[in-house]
Amino acid sequence: MAGVIDTYLASLRQDLAFDPALAQRLAEEVECHLREAAEADADWPSPDAERRAVERFGLAREIAAQLARDAVERQARRTWLTVVATLVVTFVAMRLRVMWLEDLGEAASAVAPLVDRYAFVAAVSVAAVGWLAFRGSVLLLAVCLGGLAASIAAGFVRASLFAAGAPLGVLLPAAVEFALVGLLAWHVAGLGRRLRQTAALRRTVR
């Protein structure tokens, strides 16, 4: 039959399931703490000594909720850092494409340049609003991501990079912006997942 400490550790692992590595690390550390606390109890060894150690430690779900909130903050910081990097690289890549097309004498569709430019402007505007007032908003980040993806796709269509034999100075920034927008999508999805997990833990702590 599982002891009080073992039951508590199982509950902690379950509540920290959003981060298996952290769950493993913390469960080991907390086990060490609880066993030491129980052994310091006058009634050791007994289930009461274990129970008192667990009671002094606090609810597993509250600890998991705090760790989940910290994880959301870290994920949000990473996501915003990626937003800034993607905006800068997209702007540089766009300018390089435009300069190259001007040298060639651009003869692309009328729609692609407009989407390229205004989707980027929309992404910058949404990012600015999000940064100033709603840093935890996945919706704004998703809109910003959509704007950047549309701008990059339109830029690719506008320049027909590979078909037109673009130079490395144009292809390389295009590859980097493509990779960054993928990374941003991954971070935005991760932030959304972490926010959902934190909200679920908060609901059950209350």
Q: Which of 125, 103, 105, 111 lies closest to 155 in space, CA to CA?
A: 111
Site string for another protein, 53-72 (x = CB under 8 A): ---xxxxx-xx--xx--x--
Q: Which stretch binds another protein (CB under 8 A): 30-38, 152-160, 172-180, 192-200?
A: 30-38
- How far apart are the C-alpha atoms of 123 and 114, rounded to whole Å? 14
Rounded CA gap, 131 and 167, in Å? 35
Q: How far is the CB of 183 from another protein (least distance, A)?
A: 20
- Cα→Cα distances 47→5, 12, 44, 97, Å: 9, 19, 8, 71
Interface pick for another protein out of 17, 32, 114, 139 (rule CB under 8 A): 32
Rule CB under 8 A: say whether 49 interacts with another protein.
no
In the complex, what is the shortest distance from the CB of residue 8 to another protein, in angstroms, rounded to a whole number?
10
Among 6, 14, 20, 29, binds another protein (CB under 8 A): 29
Nearer to another protein, 6 or 70 (CB): 70
> Rounded to an integer, what distance in angstroms lies between the CA atom of residue 128 and that of residue 139?
14
What DSSP assignment string belongs to 44-109? -SSHHHHHHHHHHH--HHHHHHHHHHHHHHHHHHHHHHHHHHHHHHHHHHHHHHHHHHHHH-----
Q: Whole-number minimum distance, CB 108 to another protein, in Å?
A: 47
Binder of another protein out of 6, 14, 24, 36 (CB under 8 A): 36
Residues 9-28 within binding reach of another protein (CB under 8 A): 22, 25-26, 28
Does 45 sit near another protein (CB under 8 A)?
Answer: no
Size of site (CB under 8 A) for another protein: 22
Please report where in the chains the tokens 């935890």 appear, as a residue: 136
Q: What is the dihedral of CA 82, 88, 94, 97, to 10 degrees?
A: -100
Minimum distance, C-beta of residue 121 to another protein, in the bound complex (Å): 35
Q: Which is nearer to another protein, 73 or 172 (CB)?
A: 73
Q: Taking a C-beta distance cutoff of 8 angstroms, is the pair 139, 126 a contact?
A: no
- The amino acid sitting at 191 is L
The residues that touch another protein, with contacts defined as CB under 8 A, are 22, 25-26, 28-30, 32-33, 35-37, 56-60, 62-63, 66-67, 70, 74
